[in-house]
Amino acid sequence: MKKLFENWRKNLNEAAFEPGRATGDIEASMGSPDAMPEEDAMRELADKFGVEVMFAKTTDGNNVAVVTFENGEQMAYIDEEEMYQDLAKRHELSEGIENITPENVQIAADAIRQVVANLAPAAILPALMLIYKEYKGKKKGE
């Protein structure tokens, strides 16, 4: 901390005073007072998920990010976390559907057939025992 203050004092002594210099950079980095504080992060999210984003104000003066999806659907988000959660969920749901091919379906059907063939003997014996117990119970009840 001490080193930080020494560097700061050194910088103040070396630099000539210019009115507005201290606050000029801060104001420029903040953007307009109407902008959303999370605007840059939301733009990065939109790029990451391949959607378009624009920023607007609602009729009551709140800032929102309006995302347009590939299918033309639009969704408004108030904050970055809400936007991320929804985009991630949508991406997860749509992921993998393009990998379904007739060959993949056939491989899955063959695997299911093999599992059923291997487990059928193990399932038949308990089923027969259950049927036998019910039959025996009905016979005793007569």
Residue 88's contacts (CB-CB under 8 Å, 6 or more residues apart) are 49
Let me know if residue 49 belongs to a domain: no
Cβ 77 vs Cβ 86: under 8 Å:
yes
* CA-to-CA separations, 108 to 51, 52, 80, 111, in angstroms, rounded: 33, 37, 39, 5
pLDDT at 20: 52
For 62-117, write each residue's pLDDT tens digit: 889 999 988 888 999 988 899 999 998 887 766 555 566 777 778 888 888 888 78
Q: What number of other Cβ atoms are within 10 A of residue 68's Cβ? A: 14
Whether 105 is covered by a domain: the verdict is yes
Q: For residues 113 and 12, which has the higher predicted lDDT (pLDDT)?
A: 113
pTM of the predicted model over 0.75:
no
Work out how many domains the chain is built from and give that number.
1
Is 56 inside a domain boundary?
no
Do residues 67 and 77 touch, judged by C-beta distance below 8 A? yes
In a domain, 141, yes or no: yes
